[in-house]
Amino acid sequence: MDLILTRTKFSEQGIFGELTGYGFHAYTLEHSYNSKPKIDIGKYSCVRGVHKLHDGVWFETFQLMGVPGHDGILIHKGNYNDDSEGCILIGKGLDLSKNMILESKKAFDEFLLIQKDKDSFTLTVV
């Protein structure tokens, strides 16, 4: 299912937003590079694949394709700005006083469930 990422807060502690579509809702956090994300506003094809993060654990998720100047941009679990090097972290809650998203595993599991029969989808970043 196609989704929309709406950014709501830009700061040195992270770029916060919301991921929505077809009844799905999650909060997002992207790494801040001087209050700017790696992903520009636009539409991106997201393709299912198996990937590995720095912890060495392989997992299935979606990768954003065609991000100018960047590759390997994924949607995955994580709670803090430092849990991402430009990827989109998702969570069920938000705690701006601690600059973090909450219940990331739960949100990620729900995200994979709504995309269970899809090999790709379109993400619109606004």
Q: Give residue 93's domain range.
A: 3-125
Q: How many domains does the chain have?
A: 1
Q: What is the pLDDT of residue 61?
A: 95
**Local confidence pLDDT in tens for the 126 residues of the chain:** 899 999 999 999 999 999 999 899 999 999 988 888 888 999 999 999 999 877 778 899 999 999 988 888 999 999 999 998 889 999 999 999 999 999 999 999 999 999 999 999 999 999
Q: What is the DSSP string of 3-70?
A: EEEEEEEEETTEEEEEEEETTEEEEEEE--SSS--SSPSEEEEEEEEEEE-TT--EEEEEEE---TT-
Q: What is the pLDDT of residue 27?
A: 98
